[in-house]
Amino acid sequence: METWTLARGYRYAGVHCGIRPDPNRLDPNRLDLALVVSDEPAAAAGVFTQNRVCAAPVRICQERLPAAAARGIVICSGNANACTGAQGLRDACRMAGCAARSLGCRPEQILVCSTGVIGRLLPMEAIEPGIAAACSSLGADAAALDRAAHAILTTDTRIKVSTRSVLLEGTEVRLTGFAKGAAMIGPNMATMLAFVLSDAAVRPDDLAKIVPGVAEKSFNGISVEGHTSTNDSLIIFANGTGRKLTGAGLWEFEQAATQVCAELARAIAADAEGANHLITIDVEGTRNHEEARRIAKAVADSVLVKTAIFGADPNWGRIVSAAGYAGVDFEERDLSLRLGEFLLYDRGQPTPFDAARVSAWLKSNREVPMRLQFTLGSGRCTFYTCDLTYEYVRLNADYTT
């Protein structure tokens, strides 16, 4: 926490207001409502879930972004406000309106996010006082960000925060990112909830152009179980007031934002529900990036690959066969596979290997790198996922009841 270099001009709050219907399940006082405020109107842009069933707050953000004068984001955890019809939209607007009144800005300047159970109406009687309490407890320090980062979590076991400081066109720019993940992670545009606050000066339309690329290179490269959520949101703020970044400066800002998001994405995969192993899938040598990505995602989403890693079983046929149904044209002789340093499949031929040794290596390593090497071109992609454990099944067999 002490190493964070926070972007200037932002304040944070995280409070408990009682959103979860069953307080016995978790710490009854856990933080469940977060607020981020930019002191100055900020350029803001976002990308959101491609799910046809998308949450009410996502629809509100989509209407309001990109924005030239955003002031804040109010986020509740424990209820997704998805599949909640017209009442859900009214509730999401009320959340923004309530924060705007306390902060003295227009409701359109406030963005709204939610995460949690789908299909339940928000407990507005708890949320409205919660927003008022958050507005009166804002802080600009690391402790305040820490509270906000905790307040957005659901089944995550730890917060995900990433900060960067970069020199752009002679000016120091700082970025503060935080996110939550845990499950229903199969991003398609962005993952569950992620926020990057920066003090860069960027035009809103430039910011809007940058965000999809940032998401593509970070959150779209992780999967817990391939289930694209109704609430995926990535929102980036830039509240700098100086000369707007252009050209190389803008490009470097995009790189810095991508690094922040990639770090958050990796942290989400590492803290996935019930996970024992963080699996890194490197695919290289395909004709292009898209082919590498399709193969990486097929391997990442394979329940059979995930259970094998959980069991420390070097059952590499499952990895190769998942690559085979990814919809990419290749011959077996084009493919070699390494698990860590162990070469298991060499240009279409199985190689002799010591299964007990590979299994012991899997047991003793929390991080498992897989490398699928093709001989077709220079396409490459890195994807993060996790293993599938008893604990994942336990957590998800008993989530709402």
Nearer to a copy of itself, 317 or 369 (CB): 317
Residue 117: phi and psi, rounded to 5, are -70, 140
Contact 176, 198 (CB under 8 A): yes
Is residue 212 reached through a cis peptide bond, with omega within 30 degrees of 0 on the bond before it? no
C-alpha 158/C-alpha 149 separation (Å) is: 9
Please identify, using beta-carbon distances, which residue of 156 and 225 lies nearer to a copy of itself: 225
CB count, 10 Å around CB of 290? 12
Q: Which of 183, 181, 234 is nearest to 211 (CA)?
A: 234
Q: Considering only residues 10-69, where is the footprint of a copy of itself by CB under 8 A? A: 50-54
Phi/psi of residue 164, nearest 5 degrees: -145, 150
Nearest to 249 by CA among 312, 313, 170: 170
User: Nearest approach, Cβ of 313 to a copy of itself (angstroms)?
Assistant: 5
Choosing from 158, 227, 243, 357, the residue that interacts with a copy of itself (CB under 8 A) is 227
* Of the residues 64, 120, 180, 380, which one makes contact with a copy of itself according to CB under 8 A: 120
Q: Is-contact 174 6, C-beta < 8 A?
A: yes
Q: Under rule CB under 8 A, which residues in 58-87 are in contact with a copy of itself?
A: 80, 82-85
Least separation, in Å, of the C-beta of 390 and a copy of itself?
A: 6
Q: Which of 191, 228, 230, 382 is catalytic?
A: 191
Pairing between β-strand 379-386 and β-strand 278-286 as defined by DSSP bridges: antiparallel
Q: Report in angstroms how near the CB of residue 33 gets to a copy of itself at its nearest.
A: 21
CB 180 within 8 A of CB 160: yes
Task: Tell me, yes or no, if 258 is annotated catalytic.
Answer: no
CB 393 within 8 A of CB 306: no
Contact indicator for 175, 7 with CB cutoff of 8 Å: yes
Identified binder of a copy of itself from the candidate list 322, 339, 368, 376, rule CB under 8 A: 322
Task: Tell the smallest beta-carbon distance from residue 18 to a copy of itself (Å).
Answer: 20
Judged by CB under 8 A, the chain residues 173 through 212 that form the site for a copy of itself are 183-184, 186, 188
Q: Does 230 bind a copy of itself (CB under 8 A)?
A: yes
Length of the chain: 401
- Closest to a copy of itself by CB, 188 or 255: 188
314 binds a copy of itself (CB under 8 A): yes
How many alpha carbons lie under 13 Å from residue 24 in its C-beta half-sphere?
2
Q: Strand pairing partners for 233?
A: 48, 193
Is 256 within 8 Å of 108 (Cβ atoms)? no
Nearest one of 45, 32, 75, 78 to 57, comparing CA atoms: 75
Nearer to a copy of itself, 114 or 258 (CB): 114
Shortest distance, CB of residue 348 to a copy of itself, whole angstroms? 6
Chain positions 241 to 300 lying near a copy of itself, rule: CB under 8 A, are none
Place of tokens 């008993």: 398
In whole angstroms, how close is the CB of 289 to a copy of itself at the nearest point?
19
Stretch that binds a copy of itself, among 126-134, 264-272, 331-339, 373-381 (CB under 8 A): 331-339
- Could you say which of 216, 225, 254, 263 contacts a copy of itself (CB under 8 A)? 225
Q: How far is the CB of 368 from a copy of itself (least distance, A)?
A: 14
Query: With respect to a copy of itself, which residue has the nearer C-beta, 108 or 313?
Result: 313
| CA–CA gap between residue 226 and residue 303 (Å, rounded) | 10
Residues 355-374 that bind a copy of itself (CB under 8 A): 355-356, 359
Tokens of 63: 């209407």
**Given the complex with a copy of itself, which of 170 and 397 has the nearer CB atom?**
397
Region from 6-14, 155-163, 206-214, 392-400 binding a copy of itself, contact rule CB under 8 A: 392-400
Which residue in 229, 233, 258, 259 binds a copy of itself (CB under 8 A)? Answer: 229
Residues with a known catalytic role: 191
